Amino acid sequence: MPKPKILVARAIFPEVIARLEKHFEVDSNQADKLLGKPELIARLQGKVGVFTTGSERIDADVLAACPDLKICANMAVGYNNFDVAAMSAAGVLATNAPDVLTETTADFGFALLMATARRVTESEHYLRAGQWTKWSFDMFAGSDIHGSTLGIIGMGRIGQGIAKRGAHGFGMNVIYHNRSKLDASLEAACKARYVGKEELLRTADHVVLVVPYSAASHHTIGAAELALMKPTANLINIARGGIVDDAALAVALRERRIAAAGLDVFEGEPKVHPDLLTVPNVVLTPHIASATVPTRLAMANLASDNLIGYLEQNKPVTPLNAAELAAKNLAK
């Protein structure tokens, strides 16, 4: 009996490829060449499953051109690279990789917050450039983290992890805004208080964005929202590019309308708005919030569990549209 064929669309851990090869005939892109839509469609011919990362867009065109496809397993918790409605209509299962990256990503949110508030990268560049000749009272004076007000927009699992770190580790006053208020026990565990978005922006010393990207969350922070923030406040985006209007942010940073920003994600990444590269008061990292070896391995294994579970036993671990497929009796 020939094994079912799958595509692994980007380079991943060799041991994960070896694991998948026990179950499938694997076409793997270990050369890690980014596949444009025509190449992706060509490589997907005859494949029943695809292991994707956030960089492969699965839309109606791809689905129409790849009729054998049954499952797309994303090695990411975010899945804005999937048109889930089109996948449901085509009878294709979508899965993501939640939970396994929560604490690692919350750690990084805090790392970026601290680097931004305490001007870590800006001062390192100064030192490396040989500009440090003497101590001075206000050299790279930043803002405090302990005892300050932390405002979190998007209070899912990662937002809650950041709230706990802030409240319990640094004695921060934590406020949050979310589509829905958390239940009282979760609010108590996070020591967090629900507020409106405007109040959060006006009062937080550090605003952290952890909201998923969708048409509704596009430019959650634009010029109007930046204008509400305190001139001493910092903005941290570990969510997705497009949540912040990067051009408006660059203007606010240059004009010191807010103190600083820490950005792990960018509109149109891996391109970065050129104005963000020239302002000093921003910490820039290349979408690495979940990047520790154990967590990236766990994410890759969860994507693999979904492929194996669904294609062998019709039992995906973390499906996104199983109910839609079942309701329409559409699963292939």
Q: Does 261 bind ligand DGY (CB under 6 A)?
A: no
CA-CA distance, 269 to 264, in Å (whole number)? 10
What strands lie across the sheet with 149-153, from one edge to the other?
192-194, 173-177, 149-153, 206-209, 234-237, 260-263, 282-284
Smallest gap from Cβ 34 to ligand DGY, in A, equals 15
Smallest gap from Cβ 33 to ligand DGY, in A, equals 19
Report the sign of the C-alpha dihedral through residues 160, 165, 171, 172, in that order.
negative
Nearer to ligand DGY, 79 or 252 (CB): 79
Catalytic residue among 118, 119, 287, 296: 287
Nearer to ligand DGY, 235 or 239 (CB): 239
Query: 287 an active-site residue?
Result: yes
CA-CA distance, 239 to 248, in Å (whole number)? 17
Q: Which helix (H) or strand (E) holds 154?
A: none
Nearer to ligand DGY, 269 or 275 (CB): 269
Q: Does 306 bind ligand DGY (CB under 6 A)?
A: no
Query: 269 an active-site residue?
Result: yes
Nearer to ligand DGY, 234 or 290 (CB): 290
Catalytic residue among 165, 177, 240, 273: 240
Three-class SS of residue 236?
strand
Query: 240 an active-site residue?
Result: yes
Three-class SS of residue 239?
coil
Closest CA to 230 of 117, 111, 306, 71: 117
Closest CA to 235 of 279, 199, 281: 281
Number of residues forming the site for ligand DGY (CB under 6 A) = 6
Smallest gap from Cβ 239 to ligand DGY, in A, equals 8
Give me Rg for the CA atoms of the chain. 22
CA-CA distance, 175 to 197, in Å (whole number)? 10
Smallest gap from Cβ 96 to ligand DGY, in A, equals 8
Q: Does 290 bind ligand DGY (CB under 6 A)?
A: yes
Here's the x/- map for ligand DGY, 165-194, by CB under 6 A: it reads as ------------------------------
- In single-letter form, the type of residue at position 253 comes to L
Residues 46-105 that bind ligand DGY (CB under 6 A): 54, 76-78, 101
Nearer to ligand DGY, 78 or 222 (CB): 78
Nearer to ligand DGY, 245 or 264 (CB): 264
Here's the x/- map for ligand DGY, 15-34, by CB under 6 A: it reads as --------------------
| CA 112 to mean position of chain CA atoms | 14
Point out which residues pair with 150 in neighbouring strands: 174, 206
The C-alpha angle with vertex 214 and arms to 61 and 101, in degrees rounded to 5, equals 100
CA-CA distance, 276 to 239, in Å (whole number)? 17
Smallest gap from Cβ 291 to ligand DGY, in A, equals 8
Residues that bind ligand DGY (CB under 6 A): 54, 76-78, 101, 290
Catalytic positions are 240, 269, 287
